[in-house]
Amino acid sequence: MNRVPDLSNPQHRFKVDVNAQQYHLTGGVIICKEDNINVVVVEGGKKAVKHYTKLLMKRIDWLGTRDADHDSDSEAEDASSRGNGCQLVWQGVAARKAFNNFRFQECRTAITARKVMEAKSVVHYWDLVEKSSDAVAP
């Protein structure tokens, strides 16, 4: 389970979706607009999850700027010191599968996102993400 900073870039959404399908992973992406919390939850084989986590943590530049003209040394140094923006919240073995396929779900509020996770019987995943976002916030 990963927390990503921003999924507004269509290229990032495409990479997240297509790679999950190629690795035959189930799960989903919860995009909470008001609270700016984006969560990627995947279930699958050990090797597939390992490769997918590597994609999220290293291969996608989450903090990359869209403007090629805007080039500041101080911002580049800040981005390199923070990493790429993707945070691993939890990784482990679950007792049973909670998802049947991989899909994106947009929610306006954290309460709605929590209800979505509650419907899948994995509300504790959302609680972990909220706690990790509280620890990250200044």
The CB-side HSE value for 128 (13 A sphere, CA atoms) comes to 16
Query: Containing domain of residue 68, as a range?
Result: 2-136
CATH number for position 76: 3.30.70.100
pLDDT category at 38 given cuts 50, 70, 90 is: very high
Higher-confidence residue of 121 and 134: namely 121
Measuring CA to CA, which residue among 105, 120, 136 is closest to residue 31? 105
**Percent over 70 (pLDDT), the chain:** 82
- Per the structure, how many domains does the chain have? 1
Q: What percent of the chain has pLDDT over 90?
A: 67
Q: What is the pLDDT of residues 77-131, one digit of tens each?
A: 444 445 678 999 999 999 899 999 999 999 999 999 999 999 999 999 999 998 8
**If you average pLDDT over residues 60-77, what whole number do you get?**
59
